Structure 1
Amino acid sequence: MAKTKPRIIKTDTEYIYIPGASRERFLTPPFPSIKYLATNNIMMAGLSTWTDGYRIDRYKIYHHLLLYTLGGAGSLKINDGKTVKLKKGDLFIAPYDSNYSYWTDSHWDAAWLHLSADSKWDTLFGTTAHVRKSAWGKEMDRVMQGYIEESDRRRVDSGAALHSYVDLILLYIQREIGGDDPLLADARRTLEGLWSTVQQDLKKTWSVDSLAQFAGMSRSCFHRTVVDLTGSSPMQVINTMRMERAGEMLLYTNYTLSMIAEEIGYETQFSFSKAFKRYSGKSPKEFREEMSK
């Protein structure tokens, strides 16, 4: 089988060399979606596997760039500075009018987005190109994969699904460059995993010490992190989760109060009823009767 020839793209602002073995999937047709991308200032986007020899040089480029390294490795040079290695989990953020080069001498899996300058993105991108750890790379990869798969289906109703994928892409861009810094995002993810575990076992006797141990933090660091990210203490979060679960069971099951108390970690019906009234302002019985009307 004949080898695919490399492609070379040259303009006044960029040089691109794409080896024949490289593969790129673009977020483009079917036609209902491409307009929605452009309407939201996403000029181009794609998932790529680049092979040995792939290279891009850009000079005073006219768009913003987000470049996620999903696997393999690449090299980057900004403004003729020192070469930086890009590894899985790294994110290169480049505002328009930047000068940079990136390439690989092995293989490199990447997700990338070109966003219009003179748009809502300008203030988020700032003026300096830089590399940092990605906070939302895995999610961006999944949603772009989903977009491409739906695009390939070319169903009559694909437009609605593709619009939803674009909304998620926009959300993750906003979170990535306009929200938490990476360290705070990591802490938020840790807590999300913890809360999911707690939700599955609300009858367990949770304590700040056991929660902190699960999260891999010291007791003081855990308490401070939870307060910073939720506005509540750890045990207040657990109490809210228990009361919300109790409210669901009061509304949607015929469980007795003693059964509900046991399910959410209270030793007696009385202690549960007292806690629920303190939380909701109504006794469990009053809550069930009022919400059932």
Structure 2
Amino acid sequence: MSECNIQNIDGVDTGSLRPDGRSDYHILYIVKGSCFVNLHGKEYEVKEDSIILYLPYEYQEYTYKKEIKTKSYFVHFQGSICESLFKDYDERIMYIGKNAKTERLFESLVEEHQLKMMGYEEICSSLLLTIISYITREKNCISKNLNTSSNEKIAEACAEIRRNYYKVFLISDYAKMYNMSISRFSHLFKHMTGTSPNKYVNEIRIEKAKEMLINTNYPICEIAQRVGMQSQSYFSKNFKKHTMYSPIEYREMFK
């Protein structure tokens, strides 16, 4: 893998024009907003929860518009395994639906590639293969048109959890909100996101805590409360379990 990163576009037109493409594979993952892609002389608006795939030496032309706040990830990579994985991909634009697991994998990929700690190349390769596998799975699920109504409900639940991650979380409340039993809600949630509801909200809290540790001077106890964990000791233990660093150690890394 040669390069990967996250892009937050707001207030500026940007994009790429590569008439001869690149020598490697190129994936764009639109998480929020939209990207305008030119394929065979026609412009398409690619909206959030979609993947744009370019094969080596394929014409590339895409634009992010300043009036649309957009968040996307990109990755450039090579490898013979890619040929077999992408051999049946006729489309260059694929809607894969809401999938928090995929976004978390991209986040981990970018973090590993930027920190470049010991063994990062092997970890990046593993994460990339997992990402491609998830994209393939979600593409197949969408193409089979699996229970669109239930998928939409779980997507709404994910958005609701992201808005209210700092509040007390009870699966029963969300199951009731979407007229499902707890077991049905939990099953569909894990099928769509790749994780349980409790793990999902916990991982959001950890990500929000990371942002606060890097961008604020809040004491650890306050960050714990702000992300919905009332006990500082539980927060610290939980944070280290997920990141391998204590909150203090993580903050020090970015000073």
Normalising by the residue count of structure 1, what TM-score does the alignment of the two structures yield?
0.42
Bigger Rg, which one = 1
- TM-score, L = length of structure 2: 0.48
